[in-house]
Amino acid sequence: MFKHQIISNINKRAVLVVIPRTMVGIFILLQIIGMLCYPGGTIHNPHTMGYSFSENFFSGMGAYAAKNGEPNYLSMIIFSFSLTIAGLTYVLYYLVLPQILGNDNLNYFLASIGSIFAFGGSICLIGTGLTPTDLVFEFHVFFANNIFHCFLITALLYSIVIIRSALLEKIYAIGYGLFFISIFVYVGILQFGPSVSTGQQALVFQVISQKMIVLFFLVTVVHQTFGLAKLERL
């Protein structure tokens, strides 16, 4: 039994600390490679060379063809692979997390509901990577938008759980609260922000907003791993 408990603890630590940190590093590396492989073109200017950080969405790397009309196979494969890795990592992460932070009945219930929405968001992550925007636009938009709708609920519920549990230091509760606020703001941008079709400034605003929320996702994951790594029950 003792041996089984050690293995169980090692597995939980891997799922909540080691794998998420590894995923973030791999994800960033793959995004950089995907950007370097992208042939070129933006929504408003198909003649640009390469990937524009301020004018190309992440999903542009996942398109079957680049905006300049050239094939985009390599970047598309890298983009799909990176989102699949991220989605699977989040599934494992939120499958285990209620066992750690659900230290009473209410917390376990809230964490479980939060994880269910996280599973939905993770499926949408994978779906976003597997639906090229230039081939199945409506499906791609559905998956991409619902990543944030699902994780908005997850972030709210887990913010409450972390505050109530007192297992993590206050800085980690604040971090998750900021995670919720950032997603809430981005969902507002998705719903009420300017359309990219209205002009260059709107495009840059939407693209940079997307980059910032993805960065916040990654930073939050890494930040939480440091708090979780300190837990004796992990």
Mean pLDDT, each 10-residue run in order, the chain (234 residues): 46 93 96 96 92 93 94 96 96 94 92 97 96 94 95 95 90 92 95 90 94 94 93 70
How much is the pLDDT for 9? 55
The pLDDT assigned to 233 comes to 63
Beta strands per DSSP E along the chain: none
Given this model, what pLDDT does residue 6 score?
Answer: 40
Neighbours of 188 (CB within 10 A): 10
pLDDT of residue 170: 87
pTM exceeding 0.75: yes
Tell me the angle at which helices 73-101 and 137-165 cross, rounded to the nearest 10 degrees: 30
Residue type for 177, please? G
CA distances from 192 to 93, 188, 200 (A): 31, 6, 17
Query: 102: which residues sit within 8 A by CB, 6+ positions away?
Result: 108, 109, 111, 112, 161, 165
- The predicted structure's pLDDT at residue 160: 94
Task: Give the span between the Cα atoms of 33 and 15, in whole angstroms.
Answer: 26
Nearest partner of 90 among 185, 145, 30, 154, judged by Cα: 154
- Count of CB atoms within 10 A of residue 47's CB? 9
